[in-house]
Structure 1
Amino acid sequence: MAGKILSVGGTVGSPVDAGSAFITLADTGDMRIEADFPEADADHLAVGQSATVALPAQDGSTFDATVVQVDPTGTSDGTLVRFGVVLTFADPPAGLLVGQSATVTVTTGSKSGVLRVPSTSVHDVAGTTGTVLRNGVRTTVGVGLRGDQYTEITGGLAAGDQVARSW
């Protein structure tokens, strides 16, 4: 099996007991990424979704990946429940290290040709409505797809309206 040697448990000529590991070998041919997501995001995750992976050792480059598993149950640290996700690279980068850290972004939905504002601009979101500060006046707006950076506005604003980024 081709792979990368992670550890060697002895030296040349040293005895080895049956069942003990002499070398630990990692299969680097099919590297996978394991990530944890908070429960607030877990119900939006599904097998087959596209993702990007940023590796600190790769100078800010991102790599395409796909979700191949979402754990059906979460694990708790006493304050926060997280769900495990496994992803595979579309084209694994050269020099990938076993166990290295990564930043994973999963695309749970997307739309084009819509009006969007920074998510920090939208407050008091309840279902499909929220509030923005437009020209200093609180305005109720329709809310569609919501993400960490942007929120889709389905009504109550027009292109060119000025809204406060946060308030």
Structure 2
Amino acid sequence: MSELRAAIRAEVAALAPLDALEEEHQQATLAWIDSGAELWRRIKPATPAVHLATYFALIDAEGILLVDHKNAGLWLPTGGHVDPGEHPREAVARELFEELGVRHLPAPTLLTRTQVDAHAASHLDVTLWYALPVARSLPLHYDQAEFHEARWFDFDQLPFADSDPHLGRFAAKLDKIRA
């Protein structure tokens, strides 16, 4: 096993699952990593059909910053696909700076596997979710080519119906961690 693959495996294995679904996602992801399959998307939008992605949610005590993603048509945490040969934490650092002009490097909080059916190219995003505690006063410069807007949502006002299907589980895990 390559050093990078082993580091990604260790990142996934270190997560303490919130629930049975995250435990299932963790075991499936570890088996996928161990299989030797390609981990990174090589051709947009969906080759290979299973590949690594990240979300990095800026959070404070009251809520989460979400972006109105133009392509997805959803309110999502900022994030992106992991580039070939890149560790997910490196992707977080790169994307966070590209999308919001912020530099920070956290540990992952949640792991999900989400079937994405977009642009007639179905694929599975294996996503490590990272939580980045920041002050709402932090100046942000979001990527206007990719997002309509960026907005803070209080935890009790999250747009679950118009977001990633795992956003509620992410908020629950954050709540559990903070308790």
Specify the TM-score bucket, using the shorter chain as the normaliser.
Answer: under 0.3
Higher share of residues assigned strand: 1
Taking structure 2 as the reference length, the TM-score comes to 0.25
Higher relative contact order (CA 8 A, sep 6+): 2
Higher share of residues assigned helix: 2
Taking structure 1 as the reference length, the TM-score comes to 0.26
User: Which structure would you say has the larger Rg?
Assistant: 1
